[in-house]
Amino acid sequence: MEYKKILTIQDISCVGQCSLTVALPILSAAGIETCILPSAVLSTHTAGFTGYTVRDLTDDIPAIAAHWNKENIRFDAVYTGYLGSTKQIDYVKDIFAKLLADGGVTVVDPAMADNGKLYPAFDGEYVEAMKTLAFSADIILPNITEACFLTGMPYRETYDEAYISELLDKLTEAGAKTVILTGVGYREGKTGVVVQDHGERSYYEHRRIAKGCHGTGDVYASAFVGAFMRGRSAYDAAKLAADYTVLCIEKTQDDPSHWYGVKFETALPEFIASL
């Protein structure tokens, strides 16, 4: 197996299984050298906890990237998650341009919205900046809400295949190359992922667990990137990541005290075996 080196750029919540505390172990379990660039450090994530601390690391990013460039460090892939500002997006675009190895892959999870709404920290200016990053990437992993903000399409809670098809067409017209559109369900009790890979479209449907869990988007994206960098096709990586994420939720849902994330570590043996 070729030993790949990946850089993931996102915040780190010291407690609360999301962002870098999820991405680092999952990518490492996939057998990939995983380098990190924290965009911020939080004592906990912001969903359900109160009084958390935040240290913004935006101003550290250029110096870190410059040092890597001086050391001639290059990455086979750069994968971004939650980015806290338009300034961070600009720095990431510079990293894409300067630190990606020849033939390297850029993956953007445009983590900015869900359930028809932007996250509280973001506005229209952020959306416009995210468009420039997402549509320059090789692969994007939006949910339906994020895809709507990226394309200007109205968000619908209920939809059909024609709506999803139009959404994917608009993403392609805007410059998207490979799209992994998550949270797409056409039947009661089911959800899934639509993969559009350079014009070819496929759908993987799986069980929808009614009880949601924090951090599953980060689990999914990290598992997808790990599988893809191990040589899986975009569709196979999307399927593998979906199955792994469902398993993580199943291993967590009967423990009400574990409301802040999923016990993804307990499912890592199955994830490794699937690779």
Q: Please give the helix or strand (H or E) that residue 201 lies within, else none.
A: strand 200-207
pLDDT, position 97: 98
pLDDT digits (tens, 9 = 90+) for 147-178: 999 999 999 999 999 999 999 999 999 999 99
Cβ within 8 Å of residue 227, ≥6 positions away: 30, 236, 237, 240, 241, 274, 275
- The pTM for the full model equals 0.96
What are the residues whose beta carbons fall under 8 Å from the beta carbon of 41, sequence distance 6 or more?
A: 11, 12, 14, 54, 55, 57
- CA–CA separation, 50 vs 225, rounded Å? 31
The length of the chain, given as a count of residues:
275
Domains of the chain by residue range: 5-255
Domain 5-255 superfamily per CATH: Ribokinase (3.40.1190.20)
Helix axes 216-229, 234-250, angle to 10 degrees: 140
Express each pLDDT in 95-151 by its tens digit: 999 999 999 999 999 999 999 999 988 999 999 999 999 999 999 999 999 999 999
Q: How far apart are CA 68 and CA 65, in angstroms?
A: 5
Residue corresponding to tokens 């998550």: 182
- Mean of the per-residue pLDDT values of the chain: 95
